[in-house]
A and B are shown apart, each in its own frame.
Chain A
């Protein structure tokens, strides 16, 4: 039955279909052997596996659309429609991955690190600038400092997970302002003062509380004071009244940092 409008109906033969099935099967076996640790090639290949696996999948994908879906023998418009959709899909994927990679990890942390407090009824930008000089503003930095208040500073060491000092000292009852400087290009930190020997427990609970809570459990009774998250290159401060005499700890509760990033806070 040859119709005048009939499309190119050259379909592959049974033998070709079987051959395609065997090729698809063989490629799947090869893919499996590439990653199966007992096949012995997985470790040797290392990261080179990924382009290999992607390449093999592209071959499978191509074979199925060309032969099983007949694009090789069908009108080119069908190929254009499908490849068009596929190309757009590929770009959606690349755009999303690119966007999130540019955010350097966790999008939520990224957003929190850069969040600016919302100023209600700000008349103009100028007015906002003059009335709110510092967003961290816990103290009036311009005010002459009386004898009582104590200003201390501490920083992280480069990109390493450690503080630049091991001990801090203050007198009980004094108002202490600690300025924390984060010189790292990549790491986010915070600075938390806790009861003696509780740094790891506080950090564990902080991990569960998440970055929205600055990696500190809200209302944690073991916490004396803490800064918000201090992103790479940023500086933050915290002001509190030095507690009863004794030895306390300071620590960064960003997940995993508490094991190396801590010290003693001694109150006399």
Chain B
């Protein structure tokens, strides 16, 4: 029995690894808060274009948002399959999650590329700087999650995932859902609310 591996003794009775993941997610909130707040502070302060209304396409990003939300559904199915010890389903759902995450990243690459072609660059104006920094770091989080998902799929394909190692999948799931909720915030603020911003609102009117 690999008892020790799955239920270590802790003073709180909670898994240290899971606690660590939640502490990390709590602190990652601060990381994104700084970037989101920076975007909101500089909203409408760019003196030269392109401005959000010139380039943001809300319909396209609504689709990629939907894809990311559905990837979270696939992720919870992967965890459910792990608890049910359904080896084929574990790998299937993990790969589905990774595939949906990759589609999201594909949309982001397409978006970044078309924005660049329309003149939005990291150093061009405040909108470009704060937009690319924020969405770029989010994309990096998603990319890291995809790598983690693929690695977990390999472990699953070797038959090493099951109820006893469900925590491994659960931690991955927590990270993945966190990336999803960060996008919920970004999508609302940068696209739904900020996507129609025009030129500068100068103090002089």
Contact = CB atoms under 8 A, between A and B. Distances in A.
Say if A and B assemble together. Answer: yes
Contact of B33 (A18, A68, A89): A89
B193 A61 contact: no
A186 B203 contact: yes
Consensus secondary structure, chain B interface:
helix
B96 interface: no
B148 interface: no
B34 interface: yes
Interface string A72-104: 000101100110111011101100110010001
Interface string A7-18: 100011010011
Residue in B30, B70, B173 with the greatest tally of chain A CB atoms within 10 Å: B30
B36 A85 contact: no
A82 B26 contact: yes
- Interface SS of A by simple majority: helix
A207 interface: yes
A64 interface: yes
A89 B32 CA distance: 8
B19 interface: yes
A10 B111 CA distance: 40
A254 B19 contact: no
B23 A81 contact: yes
B29 interface: yes
A20 B193 CA distance: 24
A104 B29 contact: no
Contacts of B163: 1
A68 B62 contact: no
Contacts of B184: 57, 60-61, 64
Nearest to B36: A93
A148 interface: no
Contacts of A56: 188
A28 interface: yes
